[in-house]
């Protein structure tokens, strides 16, 4: 399953059982109702792995189908990755706007897929897996740049092989890893100084929004998974200077993947087999080159056998869509939970609200007391306080925070996030100090 969101439209792919992409409209059937409006099927009728990647920008939508074998006149042959293009018409429907790829290729495994898609205006860039002719057993990727001049026609602009793990585009500048290219594929510079780049093949690690480049780094210089951070650079200034750096003290695999649009930045924390946080940052209206933590969402995988991490996207308006995998038990298909949140609306309690039934939060003078209504060591909870830059101020178990309270007298005045974790749930509240 893959998800995307743009404007008032959300897209959810259903890959494994009859590939298709479902379209939901924000105002269909009521205010913020997110009603279904359309299901997109491949025009050639081949639904196998249709929707393995989806990407939306402006009024355009790209849906990929991974390479796979099909019968052709009694012989199994390999058809390459296909990319189906759609655009939004005046009636609010997403209509066909061309198809790219789907060529016959020689590939013994026939399992290549698209790893990244990025678009800006009339330009589309795709990072796709390819067969390395010299070393066919190794992983390789190729960047392919397309431009559309008329509706339904996408022209091949350039293509080149890459070893970097993600790509994004702003105007006529393509950023692949720490290198800069024109849309014709000519290298024009890099910004490696001051940036340690650790990418991943499966999730977004480069994003551009309104002149700012976000670079996810899940490890430090020595690959230490506790030193993950997001580097923010101003791409409108010479040399792309670093303008901010976001990190969470004591985290594991922070910035495993990101999503960035408008004034909102999402960063995940955690590996595939552990519980995850999603940290949400908003650009300051007072200090333009500063991002403040506004939400913490928690995701607990219900079983240890999954290798699926949350898939995220955020729109320019602060609409966040997230897909998480559910425990399939002893049956298939695997189910996913898709949620959409409006990040622009202030929220007092995030994530699992069941915590309200267990934890009591009260303020007395300069102290905050957090108590667990369910007594006993088996119901022990955890409390952590973060400032709006994501720095951890204090952390206690609930037995101590209930009996002695948390002294906040030295805390500067402002808004803080209090993370509350118990045996059965985890959430966060905002605290005005």
Host domain of residue 29: 3-346
Q: How many independent structural domains does the chain possess? A: 2
* CATH code: domain of residue 378: 2.60.40.10
Contact present, 147 and 169 (Cβ < 8 Å): no
User: Is residue 131 in a domain?
Assistant: yes
Residue 332 CA to residue 147 CA, distance in Å, equals: 40
Listed residue (308, 340, 343) closest to 324, CA to CA: 308
Give the three-state DSSP class for 354. Answer: helix
Give the three-state DSSP class for 223. Answer: coil
For the chain, the straight-line distance linking the first and the last C-alpha, in angstroms and rounded, comes to 41
Q: For 13-34, b where at least 16 C-beta lie within 10 A, e where not — what string?
A: bbbeeebbbbbbbbebeeeeeb
Which residues are bridge partners to 259 per DSSP?
Answer: 266
258-299 pLDDT, tens digit each: 999 999 999 988 765 555 788 898 887 666 677 878 888 877
Q: What is the 3-state secondary structure (H, E, C) of 373-418?
A: CCCCHHHCCEEEEECCCCCEEEEEEHHHHHHCCEECCCCCCCEEEE
Q: Are residues 88 and 114 in the same domain?
A: yes
* CATH code: domain of residue 31: 2.130.10.10
Contact present, 214 and 230 (Cβ < 8 Å): yes
Take residue 365 and report the two structure tokens written for it. Answer: 């003078």
At which of 346, 366, 398 does a domain end? 346
Q: Are residues 47 and 144 in the same domain?
A: yes
At which of 297, 315, 346 does a domain end? 346
352-383 pLDDT, tens digit each: 334 444 567 777 777 777 776 665 565 667 77
Residue 110 CA to residue 124 CA, distance in Å, equals: 24
Take residue 32 and report the two structure tokens written for it. Answer: 């913020």
Take residue 94 and report the two structure tokens written for it. Answer: 């997403």
307-332 pLDDT, tens digit each: 566 789 999 999 999 988 776 665 66
Per-chain mean pLDDT for the chain:
80
Q: Are residues 284 and 397 in the same domain?
A: no
User: Is residue 69 in a domain?
Assistant: yes
Model pLDDT, residue 258? 92
pTM of the model: 0.79
Q: Are residues 226 and 319 in the same domain?
A: yes
Q: Are residues 361 and 279 in the same domain?
A: no
Q: Are residues 360 and 342 in the same domain?
A: no
Residues of the chain with pLDDT > 70, as a percent, come to 77
């Amino acid at each position: 399953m893959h998800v995307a969101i743009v404007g008032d439209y959300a897209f959810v792919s259903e890959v494994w059982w009859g590939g298709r992409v479902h379209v939901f409209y924000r105002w269909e059937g009521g205010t913020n109702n997110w009603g279904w409006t359309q299901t997109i099927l491949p025009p050639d009728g081949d639904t196998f792995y249709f929707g393995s990647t989806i990407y939306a920008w402006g009024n355009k939508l790209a849906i990929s189908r991974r390479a796979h074998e099909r019968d052709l006149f009694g012989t199994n042959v390999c058809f390459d990755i296909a990319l189906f293009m759609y655009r939004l018409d005046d009636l609010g429907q997403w209509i066909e706007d061309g198809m790219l790829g789907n060529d016959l290729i020689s590939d013994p495994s026939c399992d290549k897929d698209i790893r990244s898609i990025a678009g800006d205006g009339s330009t589309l860039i795709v990072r796709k897996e390819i067969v390395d002719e010299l070393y066919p057993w190794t992983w390789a990727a190729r960047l392919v740049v397309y431009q559309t001049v008329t509706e339904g026609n996408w022209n091949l602009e350039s293509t080149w092989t890459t070893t970097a793990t993600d790509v994004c585009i702003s105007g006529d500048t393509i950023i692949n890893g720490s290198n800069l290219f024109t849309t014709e594929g000519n290298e024009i510079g890099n910004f490696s100084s001051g940036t340690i780049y650790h990418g991943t093949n499966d999730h977004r690690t480069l994003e551009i929004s309104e002149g700012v480049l976000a670079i996810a780094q899940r490890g430090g210089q020595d690959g230490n998974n506790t030193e993950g951070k997001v580097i923010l650079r101003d791409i409108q200034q010479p040399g792309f200077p670093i303008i901010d750096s976001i990190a969470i003290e004591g985290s594991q695999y922070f910035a495993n993947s990101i999503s960035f649009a408008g004034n909102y930045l999402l960063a995940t924390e955690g590996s595939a087999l552990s519980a995850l946080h999603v940290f949400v940052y908003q650009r300051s209206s007072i200090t333009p080159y500063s991002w403040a933590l506004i939400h913490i969402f928690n995701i607990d995988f219900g079983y240890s056998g999954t290798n699926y991490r949350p898939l995220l996207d955020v729109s320019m308006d602060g609409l966040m869509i997230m897909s998480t995998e559910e425990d399939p038990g002893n049956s298939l298909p695997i189910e996913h939970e898709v949620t959409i949140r409006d990040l622009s609306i202030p929220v007092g309690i995030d994530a699992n609200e069941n915590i309200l039934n267990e934890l009591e939060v009260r303020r007395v003078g300069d102290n905050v007391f957090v108590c667990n209504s369910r007594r006993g060591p088996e119901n022990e909870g955890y409390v952590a306080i973060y400032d709006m830059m994501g720095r951890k101020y204090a952390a206690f178990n609930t037995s101590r925070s209930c009996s002695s309270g948390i002294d906040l007298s030295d805390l500067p005045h402002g808004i803080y996030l209090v993370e509350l974790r118990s045996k059965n749930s985890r959430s966060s509240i905002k605290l005005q100090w």
